[in-house]
A and B are shown apart, each in its own frame.
Chain A
């Protein structure tokens, strides 16, 4: 069974640009969550989708958005990039709420 796949693995963007990250969950998993990991703030929850509905959102500005498609694949978008958005963005999928999350390898975003 294939794991969680995140693309791309690495990304370099310029301040002010926007970026879209993609996550394909494990087959059959309907819940997808996104996390931002930085050395200073650690792992912070961005948002969670279940059956195409955003069920929870972390404390991030509106520049961070996401969506989930009918096949459970998810994308997150960050607009008007800032230097502080440089981070490892991790996606996790689970079969249902309250079960363990399986993580992808992450997308390393560098904003210059």
Chain B
């Protein structure tokens, strides 16, 4: 069965620093991968998605992620953190084996310090 693992439940960066949130997936078939962001007391907002087209995916708010099949990774990056990026980030996978549900990672809470 497919799954995703997010390394690091908490990540802290200074404003202006690089943001790197890690996600590794496990799937025996090509996956579709997603990154979602959740602000306090809100639902989840899609940041970006990988659906087997370009391996480097650009999303909203300056975020991007690169699909690396050899490393089974889909890490989320942003060159320069803003205070407004503080939130919880979830990596998720869906595959053709199990087409009806997103499987989420445990989430990474990003803190941004001035």
Contact = CB atoms under 8 A, between A and B. Distances in A.
Interface string A7-43: 0000000000000000000000000010100000011
B106 A42 contact: yes
A98 B32 contact: yes
Interface string B75-114: 0000000000000001000101011111111110000000
Q: Is the interface of B mostly helix, strand, loop or mixed?
A: strand
B43 A56 contact: no
Nearest to A55: B100
A105 B43 contact: yes
A98 B46 CA distance: 14
A33 B94 contact: no
A6 B32 CA distance: 26
How big is the A interface, by class? 20 to 34
Contacts of A55: 100
Nearest to B105: A42
A100 B46 contact: yes
A103 B104 contact: no
Interface string B5-32: 0000000000000000000000000001
B32 A43 contact: no
B43 A4 contact: yes
B42 interface: yes
B34 interface: yes
Contacts of A101: 46, 102
Nearest to B36: A103
B101 A58 contact: yes
Given A42-B104, A103-B44, 9 more contacts: A33-B100, A42-B105, A42-B106, A45-B102, A97-B99, A100-B34, A101-B46, A105-B41, A106-B43
Top 3 nearest A-B pairs by Cβ distance? Answer: A56-B100, A103-B43, A43-B104
